[in-house]
Amino acid sequence: MKRMFEGTTVLCVRRGGKVAMAGDGQVTLGDKVIKATARKVRSLKNGRVLAGFAGSTADAMTLLERFETKLNEQNGNLLRAAYSLVRDWRLDKALRQLEAMMLVADADQTLLLSGAGDVLEPEGEASSIGSGSGYALAAARALLMATDWDAEKIARVSLETAAEICIYTNKSITLEVIGS
């Protein structure tokens, strides 16, 4: 049986001209924590684009590097870079085997990318991927309705909430923000 590195929670929140993306730091192999401080969220294009990944670590890193290349080729155009990456991911024999998902965002939009050929723009001000995504997303949506907190605080508290529930999510949070 193939044992994969798994588990992650990545959340993107938009509010008041800010975009915050947060990811936990836990990497597991089966029932063991292999690393507690992995960095699963990155800032790209001089802080104009955020990218987070979930899934097999090596696969996700490969996709992140390719996405950054596509961003450069497309002069920072998020949607074109996303379509270009997903097309390669779906059609290339080696890339097709990669098991990961990505959440990418710029000041204007958030996109969810998958190897199944998906380029989805989630609805609402929050979106998430990974094993704890349902918990983080529910917390973010509740906080967006019930508080006037900024995107950064909502993302952090939502990830901390997910870490209380999901065994594959921890409180070692990387948080990147676009906007003022």
Q: Which residues are catalytic?
A: 8
Residue 123 is given by DSSP the state S
Beta-bridge partner residues of 176: 21
Sheet of 174-178, strands arranged across: 126-130, 9-15, 18-23, 174-178
> Dihedrals φ, ψ of 172, to 5°?
-85, 90
Asked whether the beta carbons of 55 and 113 are under 8 A apart, the reply is: no
Tokens representing 102? 């990505």
Beta strands, E only, the chain: 5-6, 9-15, 18-23, 27-29, 32-35, 41-44, 49-55, 100-105, 110-114, 119-120, 126-130, 174-178
Angstrom distance (rounded) from CA 51 to CA 46: 13
